[in-house]
Amino acid sequence: MSIFRDEAARCAAFPVVEQGIFLAHAGVTVLPRCAADAMQAHAEASCVRHQEFGDVLRDVTNTRALCARVIGAEADEIALLGPTSLGLSLFANGIEWEPGDEVVCYGDDYPSNVYPWAALASRGVVVKYLEPKITGAITPELVAASLSPRTRLVALASCHFLSGRRIDVDAIGSLLHERGVLFSLDAIQTVGAAPLSVRHVDFLSADAHKWMLGPLAIGIVYVARRHFETCRPTLLGAWNVKSPDFIAQREIVFEPTARRYEPGVLNIIGMYGMKASLGMLEECGLENVQSAILRARDFLESQLREAGFEFLSPGAEDPMRSGILTARHPSTPSAEFFAALEGEGITASLRTTRAGEQWLRFSPHFYNTEEEMARVAGVLRRKVN
């Protein structure tokens, strides 16, 4: 794709690069031109036609198919819902729990993947928290050791939001399925940045506003077809309950596909943005996208390591690393670095651990270059005390 080879094409596709350097895709992404144009086109069309004109339903169908391809699912297993916490809450609240059932999760995951499960304690569910020795290092062995005959579900993130350490989704999912345990995945830090398969996943939720390069409050909610009855819809409306001619029925009968989790009108304008950005990533090839992300991330790590920085993230030699690089310097407060970066038009993230330590989090995407990483490193070197 020309974005990889041509600077003019890169600037046209990502206007932000002419304003500064954006390295916060693990937070809230800037939009690529294709997503902004697609959203604007729908907004303009909606000035002269109602917002669900004929072509929209066709595009909804095409978007489901695109989302399904990205995660290796079937289109009828995809609900177009965001944010991520909505999907995770649908899973947690839609399962019929028995007192004494156990759920395993990680208490230092992003709160959206903790609170829906923690709240189940009020329903008699025993919530067990994993305690890895290294932040985000959730291994198959650690998960296996947490299981008991009462374990009903394990809820994990595909990649830790702070350390950037990924999990082995296939290995963990396989061992859970061998033991008859459900597997829920918060995949917002992976979808769009790397290939992902839901072959061994039962439930997945991921909003578009990070690595998918899409807008807020639209995303992918996946429920394996075999679990449509396991996870009952908890939000009800005219879209997911059969209502012929918009007439409410005496009996609640859900749609036969994952539409059963969509209670009403969709975020259509957001859907067009997500469809455009995901289409671009699919055209580039997610393997190529991942390689480009890791090249930029690894180059920045090498530059910062030479300057004496230390890292919360796994090193460049670790196969479980992601595009997230979290670093700090022993002699200079991270907040000072963050302010210096902002002053140079460089957007990163400042994050705090449970212990109160502040770290800089960098999350480049495939369009970021080594030249940009060198400039970032130069700003930080000048600020070292």
- CATH label of the domain that carries residue 362: 3.90.1150.10
Q: Which secondary-structure segment (H or E) carries 327?
A: strand 325-328
CB 109 within 8 A of CB 189: no
- 254 and 298 housed in the same domain: no
DSSP structure class, residue 332: B
Judge if 108 and 199 occupy the same domain. Answer: yes
**Of 258, 282, 306, which marks where a domain is finished?**
282
**Whether residues 95 and 126 fall in one domain:** yes
Can you give the CATH number for the domain in which 97 is found? 3.40.640.10
- The reported pLDDT for the residue numbered 54 is 80
Shared-domain flag, residues 202 and 230: yes
State the pTM of this model: 0.97
End position of a domain, from candidates 282, 310, 337:
282
List Cβ neighbours of 6 (8 Å cut-off, separation of 6 or more): none
Rounded mean pLDDT of 113-129? 98
pLDDT of residue 1: 63
Q: Mark which of 240, 255, 282 sits at the end of a domain.
A: 282
Domain of 44, in residue numbers: 37-282
Is residue 50's pLDDT more than 90?
no
Residues 177, 41 share a domain: yes
Quote the number of domains for the chain: 2
Same domain, 234 and 343: no
> pLDDT tens-digit profile of 51-74?
887 899 999 999 999 999 999 999
Looking at the structure, do residues 289 and 374 belong to the same domain, yes or no? yes
pLDDT range class, residue 4, cuts 50, 70, 90: confident
Same domain, 26 and 112: no
Q: Are residues 155 and 15 in the same domain?
A: no
Burial class (CB in 10 A: 0-12, 13-18, 19+), 255: middle
- For 364-378, the pLDDT digits (tens) are 999 999 999 999 999
Mean per-residue pLDDT over the chain, rounded:
97
**320 close to 165: Cβ distance less than 8 angstroms:** yes
